[in-house]
Amino acid sequence: MRIGPYVLSSPVVLAPMAGVTDRPFRILCRKLGAGLAASEMLIADQRLWHTAKSRRRMDHEGEPEPRVVQLAGSEPASLAEAARANVALGAQIIDINMGCPAKKVCGKACGSALLKDEELVARLLEAAVDAVDVPVTLKIRTGWDAQNRNGVRIAQIAEAAGIQALAVHGRTREDFYTGDAEYDTIRAIKSAVTIPVFANGDIDEPRKARDVLDFTRADGVMIGRGAHGAPWIFRAVNSHLRPNSSSLTAEKSSDPLSREEVRAIILAHLEALYAFYGEDTGVRIARKHLGWYFASLSDSATVRASLMAPATTALQFAAAKGHLDGWVEDEATRCDVRVA
């Protein structure tokens, strides 16, 4: 798959997620096979870029190409200027967020709230595309609610504006993350445009990825919550999907990761988080990831709780390593890691 001048190494990409897809996690997912990994959403208003959180979101040191920055805004001139500024800082693809359902985002007429105003969508996308000489992509939902599922029209507006790829979450804003994702609208969108389309929503294992691709005829899949505590899902899905002359098919999955490999991935992720965030914030951010990791590795709530208690990076790392060392040595315990 190609987006502008970039040929993706995989059609399986990481969804941008606030509070999750920081630089350490993006680099990890790319190493494990994600074809793209967009930054956490950055508000287009540059007056808000002086916080530590915003500075971290614009930090792409050591990140593999192409580097993707996601922007959210509701004013064309501001969005265009933000796109130019991020390209100057090294962004190679600009992604526009019109899919976030959060109240604090929609309350500012950003994210999926924009789907209610198709004229404004066109002006925003045209402004962003005209502002930069790198590809601009878009992430949307299927509509604002079930009565206003206008994803097909938004997709056509996006293609006409010069958007070069589109990701579609198979829920409306009203759905948030409840219920099951629906793929009928994604299928209709794919048939209505010629640009690459990524199907997103509830893809948490390789077979589901194949089924979604077969049904929607999308060009790729975007994985979000399915990567929580399981960044190796990209490796598994890539192995399961085998390209041939007509479609993405699968004959077999890769062998599961060994316990030693899983331990090495988790410990390296912890070290990267500590280096990126520092002592206090590093411990706090790592707790979230450790909770996800050990939810898939262990049935013991006591183990997971013990990882939340340490107040320093050294103690937290030692606790995680101790549990992982024991898990690796326990050959009698079946590995339930979601890697195949």
Q: Which pair of structure tokens corresponds to residue 6?
A: 């970039």
> CA-to-CA distance for 167 and 296, rounded, in angstroms?
27
Question: How many Cβ atoms sit within 10 Å of the Cβ of residue 102?
Answer: 16
Could you tell me what percentage of the chain is helix, strand and coil, using 3-state DSSP and rounding each to the nearest 5?
Answer: 50, 15, 40
Active site residue 100: yes
Instruction: Please tell me which residue in 100, 106, 110, 335 is annotated as part of the active site.
Output: 100
Distance from the Cα of residue 19 to its chain's centroid: 11
Could you identify the residue written with the tokens 């789907």? 115
Q: Residue 97, SS3?
A: strand
Q: Give me the sign of the Cα torsion angle 257, 258, 260, 263.
A: positive
According to DSSP, the residues that pair with 93 across neighbouring strands are 68
> CA-to-CA distance for 108 and 245, rounded, in angstroms?
45
Pairing of strands 93-98, 136-141: parallel
> CA-to-CA distance for 159 and 196, rounded, in angstroms?
10
Active site residues: 100
